[in-house]
Each structure stands twice: as C-alpha cells, then as structure tokens.
Amino acid sequence: MASASRGRLLELAKLQCSIFSTTFNPNRQRLGNKILRQRLRGPTLAAYYPRRSTTVEDVIQEFKKFDLAGFNEDEETRLESIQIAKLRGKGAPKKKRTPSDTKKKGKR
Amino acid sequence: MASAFRAKKLDLGGFVNIKVIRDHTKRKAYEQFEPQRQALRYIIRNTSLPQRMRTQAQLQLAQTSCYTRPTQIKNRCTMGGVGRSVLRAFRMGRFQFRLNALEGNIPGVKKASW
C-alpha cells in the first residue's frame, strides 16, 4: 500500500476540519480557542445568595392604598427591646458628630 | 473605588453582613465584566497575534479592578455569613447545616444512626 504524501494528508485534515467545524491548525499553534470555548460562569456565580423578595414592610405599604393598616410584629418587638435596653442604660452609644471631637477625647 | 460596584439599594434577601454584601458585589462585578475579561484573555493566549498587542492586553487585564476577578469570590454561608467550612451543595456553614438538618428544613438530609 502506497503511503499518501504530506500534502494530501494536510488536505484531508483541512477537509475534516471544514466538515466537523473545528479549527484547522496543522502547526499546533496556541490560538487561545479554549478560552472562547469556555462557558460564562457569571450568571451562576451571581445567583449564589438569595435575592431580595417581597418583605412584610412592602406588603403593608401596598395595603395602605386600600386604607388597611397592618403591623410588622418582628420589627415592633425589636424596637421594644431596644427601648427597654435604653431605659436600662444599655443602648447603643451616641454617634460622634465631627472628627475633631474624637481627637480631643484621644488627647486627654 | 470598590464601593462603586455596590448596589445603591440592598438587593439581598437572606442573612446580610458586610462580608456577604462585599462578596455579592464581587460576584455581580465579575458577571458584568466577564466577557471583557475573556476577550482580553483570548488575546493574551493567542500566539498568532502580534506581541505588542498581547502585552497591551496583559497590562489592561492587570489594571482592571480586583472586584472583577473570579479569584476574589468566596463561597459564604447564606444563613450566617461564615466563610469557613461551607458545604457547597447546601450553601451553608457546617453549624448552620447541622441546625437546619436537625430541624428538618433541608429535604433528604437525615442524621445517620446505625
């Protein structure tokens, strides 16, 4: 059996590539096609944390159109406990107003 | 600089923590800039393009904000914001996973006993 010439083999490879829609690259150059083949991972990565959906506050706000009043029980208990803590003197500290205030305190 | 990527209004629904917000912002920034990054990466890897062009692409990729890099993204617990020992399949830290599994919140998970 006579072996085919190099030119014929190259032609065959070129035809194969055109049929199976692959890139013809006989010199095995690095053309970076593997990056074009990669899928975009962004959408799956960005969907990791649960997104904000309708909250109790939104529902109350919507019902205000129809003159219906509701109350957010969790929020009210939270505010109540904050009030209790403040009465006991265990509330959050007061916010500093200007940066110079804290500097003076630091020097003393 | 990095805060430019952050959403003006909080768009997370579950447990929220500054670390969680930061990670979420990075994820969204990566999603936004992914095609641009991949294009630059393609130019860099393609040896048939002129060397000058490839070097320019390298510089440009290096100068993009660190928030657009996939390596900055870290899987955190969606229930407690913990960054360590997070089970990927449940998106939960080990302790939150245990609590929720014992409570029966995770379908198909049962405490082994034999």
Q: Compute the distance between CA of residue B58 and CA of residue A61 in angstroms, rounded to an integer.
A: 51
Are B64 and B30 in a shared domain? yes
Q: What is the pLDDT of residue A102?
A: 60
Are B54 and B85 in a shared domain? no
Alpha helix (H) residue ranges in A1-108: 6-20, 33-37, 42-46, 56-63, 73-87, 99-107
Are B64 and B20 in a shared domain? yes
The Cα of B113 is separated from the nearest Cα of chain A by a number of Å equal to 32
Average pLDDT, chain B: 92
CA atoms within 13 A on the CB side of B19: 11
CATH number at residue B45: 1.10.287.1480
Are B68 and B94 in a shared domain? no
Q: Does ipTM top 0.90?
A: no
Domain membership of residue B91 (yes or no) is: yes
Residues of chain A contacting residue B20, judged by C-beta atoms under 8 Å apart: 49
Q: Compute the distance between CA of residue A95 and CA of residue A5 in angstroms, rounded to an integer.
A: 85
Percent residues over pLDDT 70 in chain B: 99
Window 35-74 of A: residues touching B by CB (8 A cutoff) are 35-36, 38, 40-43, 45-46, 48-53
CB A45 within 8 A of CB B73: yes
| Residue contact A30–B47, C-beta within 8 A | yes
pLDDT at A105 exceeding the cut of 60: no
Are B57 and B83 in a shared domain? no
pLDDT tens for each residue of A33-86 = 899 999 999 999 999 999 988 888 888 888 888 888 888 888 899 999 999 999
Question: Range of B99's domain?
Answer: 75-114
Residue type, A57: E
Work out how many domains chain B is built from and give that number: 2
* Average pLDDT rounded to a whole number, residues A92-103: 76
Q: What is the pLDDT of residue A65?
A: 85
Q: What is the pLDDT of residue A106?
A: 55
Domain membership of residue B3 (yes or no) is: no
CB A36 within 8 A of CB B39: no
Q: What is the pLDDT of residue B1?
A: 66
Are B81 and B45 in a shared domain? no
What is the model's pTM? 0.76
In a mutational test of the B interface, the residue from A49, A54, A56, A57 whose CB has the highest number of chain B CBs within 10 Å is A49
* Average pLDDT rounded to a whole number, residues B19-31: 94
